[in-house]
């Protein structure tokens, strides 16, 4: 895979990732697996729409030290199946309040593979 100059390659818990970061905040804008998927969901074809919506917290839990958010900070924004691919998005919340223009999105292909994450303007808030 050819990476642009703005992408960095990191080793994250034994997995090679390609990350595009915001030039000012250094927050990840796109996270992709290199030669591997970020997550592969088993028995994907048997999952219901409701079960698909639980994938966000699973993904965030796996990559939370990169994203700097917790799985319970997600609120489902939408899950739509187009052709054989699911497009899933979540709002980020803080103390139950949706943060304006802060979201996480990804797609799940027909084999249950999540190849990239797009954390849009994810905010880093510390809990007390």
Q: What is the pLDDT of residues 25-35, one digit of tens each?
A: 888 999 999 99
Judge whether 85 lies within some domain. yes
Q: What is the helix (H) or strand (E) element at residue 64, kind and residue range? A: helix 55-67
Inside any domain, residue 2: no
> How many domains are there within the chain?
1
Q: Residue 94's domain is classified under what CATH number?
A: 3.10.450
For residue 114, give the nearest of 60, 71, 70, 77 by alpha carbon: 60
Q: How does residue 101 score in pLDDT terms, banded at 50, 70 and 90?
A: confident
Could you tell me the pTM of the whole model?
A: 0.83
Domain hosting residue 111, numbered range:
38-120
Structural domain includes residue 10: no
The pLDDT of residue 1 is 42
Q: What is the pLDDT of residues 80-98, one digit of tens each?
A: 999 989 999 999 998 889 9
- Nearest C-alpha neighbor of 55 from the set 106, 94, 93, 19: 106
Over range 74-85, report the average pLDDT. 92
pLDDT tier at 114, thresholds 50, 70, 90: very high
Q: Residue 61 pLDDT > 90, yes or no?
A: yes
Q: Is the dihedral of CA 85, 62, 64, 16 positive or negative?
A: negative
* 107 in any annotated domain: yes
With H, G, I as helix, E, B as strand and everything else as coil, classify residue 124.
Answer: coil
């Amino acid at each position: 895979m050819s990476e642009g100059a703005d992408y960095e390659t990191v080793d994250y818990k034994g997995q090679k990732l390609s990350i595009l970061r915001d030039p000012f905040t250094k927050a990840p804008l796109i996270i992709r697996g290199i030669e591997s998927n970020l997550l592969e969901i088993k028995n994907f074809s048997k999952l219901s729409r409701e079960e698909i919506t639980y994938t966000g917290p699973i993904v965030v839990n796996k990559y939370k030290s990169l994203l700097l958010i917790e799985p319970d900070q997600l609120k489902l924004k939408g899950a739509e199946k187009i052709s054989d691919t699911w497009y899933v998005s979540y709002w980020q919340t803080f103390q139950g309040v949706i943060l304006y223009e802060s979201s996480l999105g990804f797609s799940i292909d027909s084999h249950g593979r999540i190849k990239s994450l797009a954390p849009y303007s994810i905010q880093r808030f510390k809990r007390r």
